[in-house]
Amino acid sequence: MDLKDVIELVEHAAQEAGFAFRAGHPETSRVRLADVKIAIDEYFRENPISDSDVTESTSHENPEEHQNQKPEQAPGAALPATQFAQDAAALGSVNAQPEPKPTE
């Protein structure tokens, strides 16, 4: 199984797990997530990552690539609390928090 196949499987299985969970079938969701774990474990057993691969991949990043982005657009940047609350509410999250009121 190549990387493309694993990624497609993970995306599909994660989507199915989400559908099952929201439909009230947590066990089906857990089974789909277990399928993801098995596929990922199998891929890395066949294609191990060495320490040099990890350090090499981070050293090739182009710093100018993210230079003109606003902080909230930068990869891995945290969302502002209000944006998080809006996104969570839009997704129907059970963990959605109300938007904090400004303190004066």
Query: When comparing pLDDT for 34 and 52, which is higher?
Result: 34
Q: What is the amino acid identity at position 35?
A: D
Q: What is the pLDDT of residues 39-90, one digit of tens each?
A: 999 999 999 887 666 555 555 556 566 566 555 555 555 545 565 556 656 6
User: Tell me, what DSSP letter sits at residue 38?
Assistant: H
Confidence of residue 30 (pLDDT cuts 50, 70, 90): very high
pLDDT of residue 2: 87
Those residues with Cβ within 8 angstroms of residue 30's Cβ, 6 or more apart along the chain or in another chain: 17
- Residue 70 CA, chain-centre distance (Å), reads 21
Alpha-carbon distance of 24 to 12, in angstroms, equals 19
Q: Is 29 helix (H, G, I), strand (E, B) or coil?
A: helix
